[in-house]
Each structure stands twice: as structure tokens, then as C-alpha cells.
């Protein structure tokens, strides 16, 4: 089967988009991942279905699972063409860029046939149940447990930092199934239906006041055996694939994302407009800061290109996505600081109804989230030094010990 050339595809996509997808109003705000409602989710499902019906959904997924079997170059062309249109961006992360490729790598044939087409059709939004309140960076230290009981698993415990769980359908969930095994060998990865008795989803208010993340509580939630991904007690292998795809996703190198939240240019225009509005267009220090943000943003895109090619050619190991996460996280934090400094006192006190600059204040308060979400920058530095540079691994006190005997948090100094 011969593949359509990228340029032919681009022309066809352009025409289809113009005829079918809603155009964004000029100057419409870029999609804001921070504040998504159930209505937004319903709208995203509808648009995703539209793409599917037009043959423009799941471009890089295999045809047998509802995709189009095209190349990353086709996807890049489509993402360029769809900029002026409203897109179901909510499906990109984690559903398409993290969960779906993990299922592709590690799921059973039945799991792939059941869920991948449903995602691509817009029927299933997914989230990750990975982090735990007690866990920090140590994902393999999961305390959430699943017990085999009468032909099914029963899930108990709690997960946190899952985005959008309150309107999503399924989750991929890492749970401990053997407490006598050493840490990494007693874990299993499950598919969990979110809307069912025993699953409670609470929303978490962020330090900037927005609500995006959730915490879930599990009380004897039943999971059928066919919902195990990979092998029982081999969940860490699945988790590592998932983390790999997460690094690609947050680093910007995933071929499964379709459309982007704003072009590069829009994103610097934001700071350009702020600089002008603050009356700093002629201020040399402000100009330096603005240019610094633009330089870093440009270099980030260049670094993504380089690292993706390096991984493709084998010049860099597959863990090189950590370079992108580290660069991206620290750049986003720096950008938040520059925005805050450019905004001046408007970011600190503002009139009701004149909140434009206030988001730079809130962005500064929430700044470190960019260095925490998707794996902290500390974890990325560990990965880069240990797996890319081959430096010795950190000594861990939990190796070779039954997990039940590993030391855990003391005190309750969380305030």
C-alpha cells in the first residue's frame, strides 16, 4: 500500500479543514490546559469524532486500530495546517501521546482493539493513575494495592495529580500486587474504569487558585483479569514505557499529538504585548528579558528537533527525552519569572475586571509546576546523568528488600 505524499496529504487536509472544522476567532486565546470544564470535554469529543469521520484522526496510529498509518511528517503537516482551527487538543495528553502508545507497546491484542479505536473516535478520554500522595518522584513506591479475590482484583488506595479525571472514562493505574517482592517486582498495571462505584474523584485546588488536578480514592474497586496490561507483577516494565512516552510528550517530540496550543509566535506575542502594555518597549532591561524568552523558546524547538533526530538515528538513547523535559521545565519557569517581572505591580495588585496582568502573578506562584509535572527536573537530571551519561546510580535503600520492609515517610510535616 503506497502512502500519500506529505504534500498531497497537506493539500487534502487543508481543504477538508476549511470545509469541516470551526475556525478560531482571530486573536482567540490559546487553549488553556489549566481550566477545562466538562463542557470543554464534550466539545473535544465532538470535534475528535468529526476528525475521525473525515479520516484525519489518529494519523500515526496503525490502521488496524482505527488510525491512518501515516508518518510523523504527515502529522507535522497536519498540525501546521490545523492552526487556524479549533482542535480537540484535550485528547493529545495523556490519551494519545502517553496512554495510547503504551497500550500499543504493551497491551494485549484485545485491549488494543477495544480501546485504541475508541480513543481515536473520541469516545474515550484517559488519564494516568500513577503518582500517590505519599510518593513524590518514587513512582515504583506505590502503596495503592490490588488483591486477587474470587476471580477479580480489588483495588484500594489513592492516586493523585491526575489531570481531568473528573470527566474522563478510563485510567491506566499502577498498583502493588505483591508486598513480599522487592519494590519494582510487586507492581501490576491495570486498566480502570473511572465511573463506577468505589471510585471517588476529588478535585484539587492549585496554588494559583485554578483547578486542574484530581485525587482519587479507591474502595474495593473491582477490576477484571483481562484489564491487566502486560504481566501480573511486571507493571514496572509497563510503567517505564509509559514514562518514556510521557517524556516524549512533555518534551514535545511525540508523533501522536495533533494540533498545538498556540504557535510559537503566538506564545512570544503574549510577552511582546505585555511589554508594550507595561510601557517597557523602550526599556533596555525589559527588552533583554523579552529577547531571552524568545531565544530560549526558539532553542527549545531546535533542541526538540535535534533530540528527536538523535533518538531516531540512535545517536542518542531513548531516554534522551529527559533532556527535553529538563530544558522545557526550566525554560517555562524562567518564562514565568520574566512575565512576572515585566508585569510589575500589575501582577501583584490589580483592579477587579483588569486581570490581564494578574495571570503573570499567578503564573509566578504556580511557576514550579513546570519543573514538577511529568516527572520532576530532579528525576530528569538523574535520568540524564545515569542513563545518558552512564554515571553511577544513586544508592537506594529499597533495593533487594521486600517492599513491606522499606522505610517510608515519617512525621506529618505536610502543612
Partner 1 sequence: MHFEASEEQTLFLDSIRRFLEAETPLGTVRRLAETGGFDRGWWRRAAALGWTSLLVAEEDGGAGLGDEGAIYLGILAEEMGRLVSPGPVLPSAIVAATLSRSGSREQRDEVLPELISGERVAAWCLAEGGRSWSPEAIALEAEPTSHGFRLSGVKTPVEAGDRAELLLVTARADGALTQFLVPADAPGVTVELLEGLDLARRFAEVRFDGVDVSESALVGRAGGAAADVERQFQLALALASAESAGAAGRVLEFTLEWAFDRFSFGRPLASYQALKHRFADMKTWSEACHATASAALAAIAAGDPAAGRLARIAKSYTGDHAPEIVQDCVQMHGGIGVTWEHDIHLYLRRVATNRTMYGEPAEHREAIAATLLDVAGGEAA
Which of 223/303 has CB closer to partner 1? 303
* In the complex, least distance from residue 407 CB atom to a second copy, rounded to whole angstroms: 13
> What value does the CA radius of gyration of the chain take, rounded to a whole number of Å?
22
Strands of 67-169 (E only): list them: 126-129, 145-149, 152-163
Q: Which residues contact 144 (CB under 8 A, 6 or more apart)?
A: 129, 132, 155, 156, 157, 158, 159, 173, 174, 175, 176, 218
Strand partners, 229: 189
CA–CA separation, 316 and 259 (whole Å): 26
188 sits in which H/E element: strand 187-193
Residues 334-353 within binding reach of partner 1 (CB under 8 A): 340-341, 344-345, 347-352
397 burial level (CB within 10 Å; 0-12, 13-18, 19+) = exposed
For residue 288, state whether it binds a second copy (rule: CB under 8 A).
Answer: yes
Can you tell me which of 105, 123, 138, 178 binds partner 1, judged by CB under 8 A?
Answer: 138
364 binds, among a second copy, partner 1, none (CB under 5 to 8 A by kind): partner 1
190 binds, among a second copy, partner 1, none (CB under 5 to 8 A by kind): none
For residue 285, state whether it binds a second copy (rule: CB under 8 A).
Answer: yes
Residues 349-378 within binding reach of partner 1 (CB under 8 A): 349-352, 355, 358, 361-362, 364-369, 371-373, 376-378
Helix, strand, or coil (residue 347): helix
Can you tell me which of 55, 292, 318, 404 binds partner 1, judged by CB under 8 A?
Answer: 292
| Of residues 187, 190, 202, the one with CA closest to residue 139 | 187
For residue 307, state whether it binds partner 1 (rule: CB under 8 A).
Answer: yes
Residues 157-216 within binding reach of partner 1 (CB under 8 A): 160-161, 183, 204-209, 213
Dihedral (Cα; 246, 112, 234, 167), 10-degree rounding? 60
180 binds, among partner 1, a second copy, none (CB under 5 to 8 A by kind): none
Can you tell me which of 2, 19, 150, 284 binds a second copy, judged by CB under 8 A?
Answer: 284
Residues 387-406 within binding reach of a second copy (CB under 8 A): 395
Residues that bind a second copy (CB under 8 A): 283-285, 288, 395
Amino acid at each position: 500500500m503506497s502512502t500519500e505524499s506529505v504534500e498531497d496529504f497537506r493539500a487534502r487536509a487543508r481543504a477538508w479543514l476549511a470545509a469541516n472544522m470551526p475556525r478560531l476567532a482571530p486573536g482567540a486565546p490559546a487553549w488553556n490546559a489549566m481550566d477545562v470544564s466538562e463542557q470543554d470535554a464534550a466539545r473535544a469529543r465532538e470535534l475528535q469524532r468529526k476528525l475521525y469521520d473525515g479520516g484525519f484522526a489518529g494519523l500515526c496510529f496503525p490502521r488496524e486500530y482505527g488510525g491512518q498509518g501515516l508518518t510523523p511528517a504527515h502529522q507535522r503537516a497536519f498540525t501546521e495546517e490545523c492552526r487556524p482551527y479549533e482542535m480537540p487538543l484535550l485528547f493529545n495528553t495523556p490519551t494519545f501521546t502517553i496512554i495510547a502508545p503504551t497500550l500499543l507497546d504493551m497491551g494485549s491484542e484485545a485491549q488494543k482493539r477495544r480501546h485504541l479505536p475508541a480513543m481515536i473516535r473520541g469516545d474515550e478520554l484517559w488519564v494516568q493513575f500513577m503518582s500517590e500522595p505519599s510518593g513524590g518522584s518514587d513512582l515504583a513506591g506505590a502503596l495503592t494495592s490490588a488483591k486477587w479475590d474470587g476471580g477479580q482484583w480489588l483495588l484500594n488506595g489513592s492516586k493523585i495529580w491526575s489531570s481531568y479525571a473528573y470527566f474522563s472514562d478510563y485510567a491506566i493505574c499502577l498498583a502493588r500486587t505483591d508486598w513480599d517482592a522487592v519494590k519494582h517486582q510487586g507492581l501490576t498495571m491495570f486498566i480502570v474504569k473511572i465511573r463506577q462505584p468505589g471510585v471517588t474523584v476529588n478535585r484539587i485546588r492549585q496554588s494559583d487558585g485554578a483547578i486542574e488536578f484530581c485525587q482519587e480514592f479507591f474502595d474495593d474497586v473491582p477490576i477484571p483479569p483481562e484489564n491487566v496490561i502486560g504481566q501480573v507483577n511486571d507493571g514496572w516494565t509497563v510503567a517505564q514505557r509509559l514514562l518514556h512516552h510521557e517524556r516524549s510528550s512533555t518534551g514535545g517530540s511525540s508523533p501522536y499529538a495533533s494540533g498545538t496550543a498556540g504557535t510559537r509566535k503566538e506564545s512570544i506575542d503574549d510577552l511582546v504585548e505585555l511589554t508594550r502594555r507595561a510601557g517597557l518597549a523602550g526599556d533596555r532591561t525589559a527588552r533583554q528579558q523579552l529577547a531571552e524568552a524568545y531565544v530560549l523558546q526558539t532553542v527549545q524547538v531546535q533542541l526538540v528537533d535535534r533530540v528527536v533526530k538523535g533518538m531516531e538515528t540512535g545517536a542518542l538513547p531513548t531516554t534522551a527525552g529527559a533532556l527535553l523535559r529538563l530544558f522545557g521545565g526550566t525554560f517555562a519557569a524562567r518564562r514565568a519569572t520574566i512575565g512576572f517581572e515585566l508585569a510589575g505591580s500589575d501582577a501583584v495588585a490589580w483592579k477587579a475586571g483588569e486581570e490581564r496582568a494578574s495571570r503573570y502573578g499567578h503564573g509566578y506562584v504556580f511557576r514550579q509546576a513546570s519543573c514538577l509535572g511529568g516527572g520532576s527536573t530532579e528525576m530528569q537530571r538523574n535520568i540524564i546523568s545515569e542513563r545518558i551519561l552512564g554515571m553511577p546510580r544513586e544508592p537506594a535503600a529499597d533495593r533487594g528488600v521486600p517492599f513491606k520492609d522499606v522505610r517510608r515517610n515519617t512525621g506529618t510535616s505536610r502543612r
